Amino acid sequence: MSIKYGMVIDLHQCVGCGSCALACKMENNTQARAHGQSFNWADFIMWTEGKFPNTTYVQMPVLCNHCSKPRCVDECPVTPKAIYKTPEGITIFNEERCIGCGACLDGCPYSSQKLDASSNEGSSYSVISFNPFKKSVHPEWLDSESAIPGCTSSGKEVVAAVGSIPPTVNKFYSGDYPPVRNKGIIEKCTFCYHRTVVGEIPACVEACPANARIFGDLNNPDSPVAQALESHKFTRLKEEKKTEPNVYYIRSYNDPTV
Protein backbone atom coordinates (compact mmCIF):
# COMPACT_ATOMS: atom_id res chain seq x y z
CA MET A 1 0.00 0.00 0.00
CA SER A 2 1.18 3.53 -0.64
CA ILE A 3 2.36 5.79 2.12
CA LYS A 4 -0.11 8.21 3.64
CA TYR A 5 1.46 10.58 6.06
CA GLY A 6 -0.49 11.86 9.01
CA MET A 7 -0.03 13.26 12.47
CA VAL A 8 -1.50 12.36 15.82
CA ILE A 9 -1.41 14.98 18.55
CA ASP A 10 -1.66 13.53 22.01
CA LEU A 11 -3.32 16.24 24.07
CA HIS A 12 -2.53 14.44 27.32
CA GLN A 13 1.16 14.76 26.53
CA CYS A 14 0.88 18.31 25.18
CA VAL A 15 1.59 20.99 27.77
CA GLY A 16 0.89 23.89 25.42
CA CYS A 17 4.42 25.26 25.65
CA GLY A 18 4.72 26.63 22.13
CA SER A 19 8.03 25.00 21.21
CA CYS A 20 6.54 23.33 18.12
CA ALA A 21 5.39 26.60 16.60
CA LEU A 22 8.69 28.33 17.34
CA ALA A 23 10.68 25.46 15.85
CA CYS A 24 8.42 25.59 12.78
CA LYS A 25 9.08 29.27 12.31
CA MET A 26 12.82 28.65 12.44
CA GLU A 27 12.70 25.63 10.16
CA ASN A 28 10.47 27.26 7.55
CA ASN A 29 11.59 30.87 7.86
CA THR A 30 8.08 32.21 8.16
CA GLN A 31 7.74 35.94 8.56
CA ALA A 32 6.13 37.91 11.38
CA ARG A 33 2.37 38.47 11.42
CA ALA A 34 1.25 41.25 9.09
CA HIS A 35 -1.68 42.23 6.86
CA GLY A 36 -4.07 39.85 8.62
CA GLN A 37 -1.76 36.91 7.90
CA SER A 38 -0.19 35.00 10.80
CA PHE A 39 2.33 33.07 8.73
CA ASN A 40 2.10 30.49 11.51
CA TRP A 41 2.19 27.15 9.80
CA ALA A 42 1.87 25.78 13.30
CA ASP A 43 -0.41 27.62 15.68
CA PHE A 44 -2.71 27.13 18.66
CA ILE A 45 -6.30 27.50 19.67
CA MET A 46 -7.29 27.72 23.32
CA TRP A 47 -10.34 28.30 25.44
CA THR A 48 -11.40 28.48 29.06
CA GLU A 49 -14.62 26.98 30.39
CA GLY A 50 -16.43 26.83 33.71
CA LYS A 51 -16.56 29.21 36.61
CA PHE A 52 -13.89 29.74 39.24
CA PRO A 53 -12.75 27.55 40.91
CA ASN A 54 -14.12 24.89 38.57
CA THR A 55 -12.29 26.35 35.65
CA THR A 56 -10.91 24.29 32.83
CA TYR A 57 -8.54 25.32 30.10
CA VAL A 58 -7.76 23.63 26.81
CA GLN A 59 -5.03 24.31 24.35
CA MET A 60 -4.75 22.59 20.98
CA PRO A 61 -1.91 22.80 18.50
CA VAL A 62 -3.25 23.35 15.00
CA LEU A 63 -1.68 23.03 11.58
CA CYS A 64 -2.65 22.09 8.05
CA ASN A 65 -4.66 18.88 8.22
CA HIS A 66 -3.27 17.53 4.96
CA CYS A 67 -6.80 16.39 4.17
CA SER A 68 -7.46 13.42 1.93
CA LYS A 69 -10.18 15.45 0.22
CA PRO A 70 -8.55 18.84 0.24
CA ARG A 71 -10.78 21.75 -0.69
CA CYS A 72 -7.76 23.93 -1.14
CA VAL A 73 -6.59 21.70 -3.98
CA ASP A 74 -10.08 21.56 -5.48
CA GLU A 75 -10.25 25.31 -5.53
CA CYS A 76 -6.83 25.93 -7.01
CA PRO A 77 -7.54 27.16 -10.55
CA VAL A 78 -4.18 26.68 -12.21
CA THR A 79 -3.04 23.69 -14.14
CA PRO A 80 -1.20 21.73 -13.03
CA LYS A 81 -2.34 22.58 -9.53
CA ALA A 82 -0.19 24.98 -7.53
CA ILE A 83 -1.42 23.43 -4.30
CA TYR A 84 -1.48 19.68 -4.62
CA LYS A 85 -1.08 16.33 -2.95
CA THR A 86 2.21 14.46 -3.03
CA PRO A 87 2.09 10.69 -3.48
CA GLU A 88 2.60 10.45 0.32
CA GLY A 89 -0.56 12.48 0.92
CA ILE A 90 1.14 15.70 1.89
CA THR A 91 -0.49 18.90 0.69
CA ILE A 92 2.28 21.10 -0.61
CA PHE A 93 2.47 24.13 -2.85
CA ASN A 94 4.49 25.14 -5.84
CA GLU A 95 5.60 28.73 -5.81
CA GLU A 96 6.07 29.07 -9.58
CA ARG A 97 2.55 27.95 -10.36
CA CYS A 98 0.82 29.86 -7.55
CA ILE A 99 -0.79 33.00 -8.91
CA GLY A 100 -1.84 34.36 -5.53
CA CYS A 101 -5.56 34.22 -6.19
CA GLY A 102 -6.38 33.08 -2.66
CA ALA A 103 -8.92 30.52 -3.79
CA CYS A 104 -7.30 27.86 -1.61
CA LEU A 105 -7.84 30.08 1.43
CA ASP A 106 -11.53 30.25 0.59
CA GLY A 107 -11.76 26.52 0.17
CA CYS A 108 -9.90 25.54 3.30
CA PRO A 109 -12.19 25.13 6.32
CA TYR A 110 -9.23 25.94 8.57
CA SER A 111 -8.22 29.20 6.97
CA SER A 112 -9.49 32.67 6.45
CA GLN A 113 -8.47 35.45 4.10
CA LYS A 114 -7.78 37.81 6.96
CA LEU A 115 -7.35 37.10 10.64
CA ASP A 116 -8.82 39.46 13.17
CA ALA A 117 -7.96 40.07 16.83
CA SER A 118 -9.68 36.84 17.86
CA SER A 119 -6.63 34.95 16.64
CA ASN A 120 -4.61 36.71 19.36
CA GLU A 121 -6.62 34.95 22.01
CA GLY A 122 -6.57 31.63 20.21
CA SER A 123 -10.16 31.69 18.90
CA SER A 124 -9.24 31.68 15.24
CA TYR A 125 -6.32 30.80 13.02
CA SER A 126 -5.40 30.22 9.46
CA VAL A 127 -3.31 27.34 8.21
CA ILE A 128 -2.73 29.03 4.86
CA SER A 129 -1.18 32.47 4.76
CA PHE A 130 -0.81 34.80 1.83
CA ASN A 131 2.17 37.00 1.02
CA PRO A 132 0.59 40.19 -0.35
CA PHE A 133 1.64 41.29 -3.84
CA LYS A 134 2.86 44.71 -2.90
CA LYS A 135 4.36 44.14 0.51
CA SER A 136 7.93 43.20 1.26
CA VAL A 137 8.56 39.82 2.81
CA HIS A 138 10.33 39.96 6.22
CA PRO A 139 10.24 43.76 6.05
CA GLU A 140 12.01 44.34 9.37
CA TRP A 141 15.21 43.08 7.79
CA LEU A 142 15.08 45.76 5.10
CA ASP A 143 14.84 48.53 7.68
CA SER A 144 17.91 50.72 7.90
CA GLU A 145 16.83 52.72 10.94
CA SER A 146 18.39 52.05 14.30
CA ALA A 147 17.34 52.78 17.87
CA ILE A 148 20.57 54.66 18.58
CA PRO A 149 22.15 55.82 15.33
CA GLY A 150 25.71 54.62 14.94
CA CYS A 151 25.52 52.54 18.12
CA THR A 152 22.81 49.93 17.76
CA SER A 153 22.37 47.95 14.58
CA SER A 154 19.44 47.82 12.20
CA GLY A 155 17.70 45.05 10.34
CA LYS A 156 19.60 45.91 7.22
CA GLU A 157 22.94 45.87 9.03
CA VAL A 158 22.28 42.45 10.54
CA VAL A 159 21.47 41.17 7.08
CA ALA A 160 24.67 42.72 5.72
CA ALA A 161 26.65 41.06 8.51
CA VAL A 162 25.26 37.56 7.99
CA GLY A 163 24.28 37.66 4.33
CA SER A 164 20.69 36.48 4.35
CA ILE A 165 17.09 37.54 4.85
CA PRO A 166 16.05 36.63 7.45
CA PRO A 167 19.41 36.22 9.19
CA THR A 168 18.29 32.88 10.59
CA VAL A 169 17.16 31.49 7.24
CA ASN A 170 17.34 27.72 7.12
CA LYS A 171 18.45 27.03 3.59
CA PHE A 172 16.67 23.81 2.81
CA TYR A 173 16.14 22.80 -0.78
CA SER A 174 12.85 22.31 -2.52
CA GLY A 175 11.97 22.63 -6.17
CA ASP A 176 8.41 23.49 -5.19
CA TYR A 177 8.60 25.97 -2.36
CA PRO A 178 11.67 28.09 -1.61
CA PRO A 179 13.01 28.59 1.93
CA VAL A 180 11.63 32.14 1.87
CA ARG A 181 8.47 32.70 -0.13
CA ASN A 182 8.05 35.59 -2.50
CA LYS A 183 5.38 38.22 -2.72
CA GLY A 184 2.06 37.23 -4.22
CA ILE A 185 1.94 33.57 -3.25
CA ILE A 186 0.39 31.51 -0.50
CA GLU A 187 2.31 29.40 1.96
CA LYS A 188 1.47 26.65 4.39
CA CYS A 189 2.68 23.65 6.35
CA THR A 190 4.32 21.06 4.14
CA PHE A 191 4.71 18.43 6.86
CA CYS A 192 8.33 19.55 6.32
CA TYR A 193 8.34 17.76 2.97
CA HIS A 194 12.01 18.69 2.51
CA ARG A 195 12.78 16.71 5.66
CA THR A 196 10.25 13.91 5.48
CA VAL A 197 11.22 13.12 1.88
CA VAL A 198 14.60 11.95 3.18
CA GLY A 199 13.12 10.13 6.14
CA GLU A 200 13.41 12.85 8.77
CA ILE A 201 10.48 13.91 10.91
CA PRO A 202 8.86 17.36 10.74
CA ALA A 203 10.55 20.08 12.78
CA CYS A 204 7.56 20.52 15.10
CA VAL A 205 7.61 16.82 15.94
CA GLU A 206 11.33 16.82 16.56
CA ALA A 207 11.21 19.90 18.79
CA CYS A 208 8.18 18.88 20.86
CA PRO A 209 9.62 18.34 24.34
CA ALA A 210 6.41 16.65 25.46
CA ASN A 211 6.39 13.93 22.82
CA ALA A 212 2.89 15.02 22.00
CA ARG A 213 3.26 14.87 18.22
CA ILE A 214 3.46 11.58 16.42
CA PHE A 215 4.16 11.55 12.70
CA GLY A 216 4.11 8.66 10.32
CA ASP A 217 2.40 6.48 7.76
CA LEU A 218 -1.28 6.00 8.52
CA ASN A 219 -1.41 3.13 6.06
CA ASN A 220 1.19 1.14 7.95
CA PRO A 221 -0.55 -0.59 10.86
CA ASP A 222 2.76 -0.89 12.72
CA SER A 223 3.53 2.80 12.57
CA PRO A 224 3.27 4.83 15.80
CA VAL A 225 0.50 6.95 14.27
CA ALA A 226 -1.61 3.95 13.32
CA GLN A 227 -0.93 2.38 16.70
CA ALA A 228 -1.97 5.54 18.52
CA LEU A 229 -5.23 5.66 16.59
CA GLU A 230 -5.77 1.97 17.22
CA SER A 231 -5.50 2.36 20.98
CA HIS A 232 -7.28 5.67 21.51
CA LYS A 233 -10.47 7.37 20.51
CA PHE A 234 -9.69 10.31 18.32
CA THR A 235 -11.19 13.51 17.05
CA ARG A 236 -10.44 15.59 13.99
CA LEU A 237 -11.14 19.27 13.54
CA LYS A 238 -14.26 20.17 11.55
CA GLU A 239 -15.02 16.57 10.69
CA GLU A 240 -18.36 17.82 9.34
CA LYS A 241 -16.64 19.51 6.43
CA LYS A 242 -15.86 16.03 5.09
CA THR A 243 -12.37 16.87 3.96
CA GLU A 244 -10.98 13.82 5.75
CA PRO A 245 -8.25 15.51 7.76
CA ASN A 246 -5.09 13.55 8.45
CA VAL A 247 -4.26 15.31 11.70
CA TYR A 248 -5.82 13.49 14.64
CA TYR A 249 -6.19 14.40 18.30
CA ILE A 250 -6.18 11.82 21.04
CA ARG A 251 -6.78 11.97 24.80
CA SER A 252 -7.59 15.08 26.81
CA TYR A 253 -5.64 18.25 27.46
CA ASN A 254 -7.10 18.82 30.89
CA ASP A 255 -8.45 15.52 32.15
CA PRO A 256 -5.51 13.27 33.01
CA THR A 257 -7.84 10.36 33.64
CA VAL A 258 -8.90 10.14 29.97
Partner 1 sequence: MKLNRRKFLQGSAAAGGALVTAAMTPDASAKRRKAQPPKPKPAAPGKGKWLPTVCQGCTSWCAAEAFIQEGRVVGVRGHHLSKSSGGYLCPRGHLGISQMYDPDRIKVPMKRTNPRKGRGVDPKFVPITWDEALDTIAEKMIALRRNNETEKFMLMRGRYTYCRDVIYDALPKIFGSPNNISHSAICAEAEKFGSYYTEGYWDYRDYDLENSKYVICFGGDPIASNRQVPNAIRQWGKVLDQATVVAVDPRLSATASKAHEWMPVKPGEDSALAVALAHVILTEGLWSREFVGDFKDGVNAFKVGNTVDADSFDEKLTNGVVKWWNIELKDRTPEWAEKICLVPAEQIRRVAIGFGKAAPNVMCWMAPGAAMQPRGAYGALAAHALNGLVGAVDNKGGTLQKMSAKYTHIPMHKEKFKPYLDGIAKKGLKHKKIDQRGTLEFPSLKKKPGGGVVTNRAADGILDESPNEIKVAIGYWNNFVFSATGATRWERAMEKLPFFAHIVTNPSEMTQYADIVLPASFHMFERWGLVPSKYNRYSYIGLQQPIVKPLWDTRIDETEVVWMLAKKMKEKGFPNLFDYFQNEIKDPETGKTAEDEADFAKIVVKVMTERQWNPAKYHSGERINGWQEFLRIGLWQSDQYPFKKKWKKGFKTTTKKFEFYSETLKKTLGQHAQKHNVSIDRVMEVTQYTGRGEQVFVPHWEPAKYHGDEAEFPFIFMENRSRLSREGRSQNLNEFYEFKKVDPGDNSHMDVLKINPKDALALGVKNGDWVKITSPEKSVKAQVKLWEGVRPGTVNKSFGMGHWAYGRLAAKDYGKHMARGFNNNELLPADYDRLSGSTARHAVSRVRIEKI
Residues 190-229 that bind partner 1 (CB under 8 A): 193-195, 197-198, 200, 203, 206-207, 209-212
CA-CA-CA-CA torsion for 88, 94, 97, 99, nearest 10 degrees?
A: 120
The alpha carbon of residue 105 and the mean position of all alpha carbons in its chain are separated, in whole angstroms, by 14
Residue 51 binds partner 1, judged by CB under 8 A: yes
Site for partner 1 (CB under 8 A): how many residues? 105
Closest CB 183 distance from partner 1, rounded Å: 13
**Secondary structure of residue 95 in the 3-state scheme:** coil
The alpha carbon of residue 222 and the mean position of all alpha carbons in its chain are separated, in whole angstroms, by 26
Compose the 63-82 pattern: x for residues touching partner 1 by CB under 8 A, - for all others: --------------xxxxx-
Closest CB 127 distance from partner 1, rounded Å: 15
User: How do 128-130 and 186-188 pair as beta strands?
Assistant: antiparallel
Closest CB 137 distance from partner 1, rounded Å: 14
| First vs last C-alpha separation in the chain | 33
**Cα–Cα nearest to 43, from 130, 105, 122:** 122
Say how far apart CA 123 and CA 38 lie, in whole Å.
13
Beta bridge pairs of residue 43: 62
Interface residue with partner 1, options 4, 6, 8, 27 (CB under 8 A) = 27
Residues 82-141 that bind partner 1 (CB under 8 A): 84-87, 92, 94, 96-97, 99-103, 105-106, 113-114, 119-122, 133, 140-141
**Secondary structure of residue 230 in the 3-state scheme:** helix
Closest to partner 1 by CB, 49 or 239: 49
The stretch near partner 1 (CB under 8 A) out of 172-180, 213-221, 223-231, 232-240 is 172-180
Closest to partner 1 by CB, 92 or 226: 92
The stretch near partner 1 (CB under 8 A) out of 15-23, 217-225, 227-235, 240-248 is 15-23
Closest to partner 1 by CB, 153 or 235: 153
**Cα–Cα nearest to 132, from 233, 31, 219:** 31
